[in-house]
Structures are given as structure tokens and as C-alpha cells.
Amino acid sequence: MANQALCLYLYALLLVKSCEGVLELRLVDGRNPFEGRLEVRDKDIMGRQWGTVCDDRWGIKDAEVACRQLGFPGAAWAHGGGRFSHGAGRIWLSELRCDGSEDNLGACAHGGWETNFCDHSQDAGVICHVPGYLGCYRDFLLPDDRVFYHEYLRTFAMTIQMCTEHCRGLGYKYAGAQRGTECFCGQDEHFTRLGNRRKDRECQDQCAGDPDQVCGSGYLENSNRLTIYDGKGRL
Ligand SMILES: [Ca+2]
């Protein structure tokens, strides 16, 4: 307890970035286990009560850290505004400032424990990527340099499930969605070439058939971005 008091003192003086070890996280009130309102607790604070995170400065970098810590392969979206219904009780954290490389949320700078003027209408949430998600990859536009060039499908009903089923049905191992409406299939690991894997946050186009899903992105630095799945599909 003395250590914790010292830590909080140093934290208040801004001499340390964080007083916590590894925070515990959970997702609540989502439609599936991969999404929900984010709740946190710390073993040393207030008898391990679960509390929420305020959406002030809550963004995709913070969501990437939270989703990875929860064991998911990446983050699709960071949500605020109580998207997953409003929590109750303490609002533990706000002003999360993860740079996206941390392996747990407790390693990110923040505004201090229960130091905020938020209410539960601002509870932060996440939608994490599901099993089968392999990452956000660059797709170059030169014909010889395409990541996937088989079986192009384009539809305004595009979802990850539709794309993976389309590719699996044709016998392909991988499915990649891009620009919200397009699906490509692939058979080899060409896409894993060094440097092609990008941060989750470079794939931020909503799937046209389901805005809660990510379908790659459009043109960015001479290439598109593919959201790639291994064909196991979603859920
Ligand atoms: Ca942030």
C-alpha cells in the first residue's frame, strides 16, 4: 500500500507515466464476445471494482492496445458515446494516450484514476478483430505486384463473411477486402512480404454491407489496403 501511495504521489507530480501494473480488462454489453463497453480494474485500487473508460481522447490506437491485451488479433473500431449502453459506477480512466505499441492499457499515459468530468454517456468501447483476421496489408496496384488478384467481387452488400465465404467456396485459402466494397481471393503467402503488414488503423473503410466491420481502405501512398482473413470467416 505504501508503494501504491508513493506511486500515486509521483504520478501526480508527473514523474511517472503510470502507477499500474497490468490492468484487467473486460468487454460488456456487446452483441458478441469481440466487442463491447470497455471496463477496467486495478488490483490495488478501490477493492478491484470494475469501472469504465471515458471517451475523451479515446481512439483507434487505444483500442488496438485494449484488443490485443484481451487476446484478439487487432482492433476494428474505437467507439465512444456509450455505444454499448451505459455503464454504472466508477469512471476510472479518461484521456488515454496510447501510442499503439503498448502491450497493455496500464502502460499507456492517461489523465489519472477517476480524474475526469465525464458521465456514462461517454463510456468508451471497442470492436475487436475476430479470429481469422491476419492483418491490414498493403496491396500495390501494379499488375505484377497485386497481393491477391483472383476472383474479384464487388458489391455494396460486402461483409467480411461474404468475402471469406466467396473465396472459400472457390477453394482459396485467403480473403482480402478493400475499399469497402471489393473482395479478392488469394492462395499463397505473397502478402506477408516484409513491410506489407500495416497498423490496423490504416484499414479504416467500413464494409458497405456492415459498417461495424472493416474492409481495408482505399488509395494510400501508392497502394490500397486489404483487410485479410485466413478464410475461417467470422464468428
Ligand atoms: Ca487516445
Q: pLDDT tens digit string along 75-113? A: 999 999 989 999 999 999 999 999 999 999 999 999 999
Distance 234 CA to ligand 1 centre (A): 28
Residue 127, classed as helix, strand or coil, is strand
Distance 102 CA to ligand 1 centre (A): 12
pLDDT bin (cut points 50, 70, 90) of residue 5 is: low
pLDDT above 60 (res 16): no
Strand 133-140 with 197-198, pairing = antiparallel
The residue that leads in pLDDT, 225 or 231, is 225
The reported pLDDT for the residue numbered 27 is 98
Distance 109 CA to ligand 1 centre (A): 9
pLDDT above 80 (res 220): no
The residue that leads in pLDDT, 231 or 212, is 212
Give the C-alpha separation, 65 to 105, whole Å: 6
The residue that leads in pLDDT, 234 or 68, is 68
Distance 48 CA to ligand 1 centre (A): 24
The residue that leads in pLDDT, 92 or 19, is 92
Give the C-alpha separation, 132 to 231, whole Å: 7
Mean pLDDT of 186-194: 82
For residue 120, which of 97, 94, 148, 87 has the smallest C-alpha distance? 87
Angle at alpha carbon of residue 114, lines to 110 and 117, rounded to 5°: 90
Tens digit of each residue's pLDDT (9 = 90 or more) over 30-47: 999 999 999 999 988 877
pLDDT bin (cut points 50, 70, 90) of residue 193 is: confident
Mean pLDDT, the chain, integer: 87
The pTM score is 0.85
What Cα–Cα distance (Å) separates residue 146 from each residue in 30, 174, 181, 196, 223? 36, 14, 17, 12, 9
CATH number of the 16-128 domain: 3.10.250.10
pLDDT above 60 (res 1): no
> Which residues of the chain does CATH 3.10.250.10 include?
16-128
Distance 60 CA to ligand 1 centre (A): 7
Estimate to the nearest angstrom the gap between the alpha carbon of 116 and the chain centroid.
24
Mean pLDDT of 5-18: 55
The reported pLDDT for the residue numbered 208 is 97
Distance 147 CA to ligand 1 centre (A): 32
Distance 151 CA to ligand 1 centre (A): 38
Tens digit of each residue's pLDDT (9 = 90 or more) over 132-187: 999 999 887 766 667 787 678 999 999 999 999 999 998 899 999 999 999 999 88
